[in-house]
Structure 1
Amino acid sequence: MLKSFYLLYRTLLDKVSFLDGVAPLMLRLILAPVMIIAGFSKLNLTNTDLVWWQRVLADENVVAWFGNAQWGLGLPAPDFLAFLAGWTEFLGGWLLLIGLATRLVSVPLAVTMFVAATQVHWHNGWFSVAPSNPDTSAAQVFAWLGSDAAEQSLEASKEVAERLSRIKEIVEANGLPAYLYEYGNPVILNNGIEFAAIYFAMLISLIFTGGGRYVSLDYWIRKYLEPNKNYLS
């Protein structure tokens, strides 16, 4: 009986194997605009007062943030690193979008996400937006497993809920709630590693899967150059 179910399962997988490229395509479509706009914001591409060769350099404010140890990252050679990070994200995002050199470009992009997580967001913990309900917080799972850090996070969620309640009371009494809440409810930004870590994991996945069968330029280029080989991406 068990063998029959397994064989049926394998048969079904074989029949839908042509859809293998959908997963990496979804990752690419999520990652590409994030990387493109992150790189775009680090560069002077929108400053039309500069000549073209100046516009390709990193923005001065970004360079200052890369180099300042008091309120920034405190990295050496900040102008070079800001330039490198900006163009890695900007060009890398476009390459992800079309699925060209997917595995190769995912490596430096993963490095930028690792640096962002460890150097920028690490001290803020995991969550990008602070949970306001301990019962629905993902930290609850780790609290069940005995994590002290998760318990602290759940306690912090109660404080977050209290502060959000105060904010809403102030707005109700003195503001324009219909106007202020038109595009969503207020949240407390925690600025943790959550997004950077998720993007890092997605990029690591693309390193192993490639751009995806049928849905990337990598696939069609390899199919043209190696027509007799059977491959997925």
Structure 2
Amino acid sequence: MSVLINSGEKVQALLDHSRHLDFLAPLALRLYLAPVFFSAGLNKALAFDSTVAWFGNADWGLGLPFPWLLALLATVTELVGGIFLLIGFATRWVSVPLMITMLVAIFTVHWGNGWFAIAPSDPATSTARPLAELGLPAAQASLENSAQVGERLSKARALLREHGQYDWLTAKGGYVVLNNGIEFGVTYLVMLLVLFFQGAGRYVGVDHWIARAARRRQSPRDPAFTEGK
């Protein structure tokens, strides 16, 4: 028993020591999200008139009120948010409008398409299968959709093999059916939520150095300074 306890203590000490590298986690989130949001904002900015039309048109777009204003806010939020995340500046502050942008996208663009961004083509391996076995209707509907997706993909591949240059067409990747569900939006939302609570992390971010400079300006007698707040 003592051997197990000693081993556990050594492992725990090693885990505690790894906290010196805890800045890598928020850094990884920032480096992942920054190009996602910046490119999304840049695409909106380069085709701003089309973006406004998509936001406002109720027939083939989102049908949102004040489309020009909302398109501008979304564009600026994503562009500025991407830059701020990259350099780790005002990370917790900028996470809030970015999360709002994700919530709007989830509920206005992707919600009606279910969970998956890319539709699974095999019900047997779909991650919805365990939930379907628990009797969740949405998961059962997802499995039925997967069966139809698999059938369509099989026919499409057969047609391409017979009438097209299948090897050339699939040289850069296999064919899939885009489901355009909420999967990516929720994933980005969760990542932003972590950054909201954790901040940019130590060392590799402007926020860290601003906070460090502010602490140095405080008097050593200040309780906030001595407690490291």
**TM-score (structure 1 length as normaliser):** 0.88
Q: For 1:13-162, what aligned pairs fall within 5 Å after superposition?
A: 13-44=15-46, 59-162=48-151
User: One-letter code of the match for 1:34?
Assistant: V
User: One-letter code of the match for 2:29?
Assistant: L
User: One-letter code of the match for 1:190?
Assistant: N
Rounded Cα–Cα distance in structure 1 between residues aligned with 2:193 and 2:123: 31
Picking from 173, 182, 189, the partner of 2:178 is 189
Picking from 151, 159, 165, the partner of 1:170 is 159
- Decide which structure has the larger Cα Rg and report it: 2
Q: CA deviation at 1:211?
A: 0.7
User: One-letter code of the match for 2:40?
Assistant: A
Q: CA deviation at 1:145?
A: 2.8
Rounded Cα–Cα distance in structure 2 between residues aligned with 1:69 and 1:200: 26
Rounded Cα–Cα distance in structure 2 between residues aligned with 1:100 and 1:184: 37
Rounded Cα–Cα distance in structure 2 between residues aligned with 1:181 and 1:102: 40
Mark the runs of 5 or more structure 2 residues left unpaired by the alignment. Answer: 217-224
Identity percentage of aligned residues: 51
Rounded Cα–Cα distance in structure 2 between residues aligned with 1:225 and 1:23: 24
Rounded Cα–Cα distance in structure 1 between residues aligned with 2:166 and 2:102: 37
Mark the runs of 5 or more structure 1 residues left unpaired by the alignment. Answer: 45-57
User: One-letter code of the match for 1:65?
Assistant: W
SS of 1:126's equivalent?
A: coil
Rounded Cα–Cα distance in structure 1 between residues aligned with 2:21 and 2:133: 37
Rounded Cα–Cα distance in structure 2 between residues aligned with 1:144 and 1:5: 41
User: One-letter code of the match for 1:33?
Assistant: P
Rounded Cα–Cα distance in structure 1 between residues aligned with 2:130 and 2:181: 18
SS of 1:196's equivalent?
A: helix
Rounded Cα–Cα distance in structure 1 between residues aligned with 2:162 and 2:154: 12
RMSD: 1.7
**Change over 3 Å in CA distance of 1:5–1:152 after alignment to 2:** farther
Higher helix share: 2
Picking from 203, 209, 216, the partner of 1:220 is 209
Q: How many aligned residue pairs are there?
A: 218
Q: CA deviation at 1:29?
A: 1.1
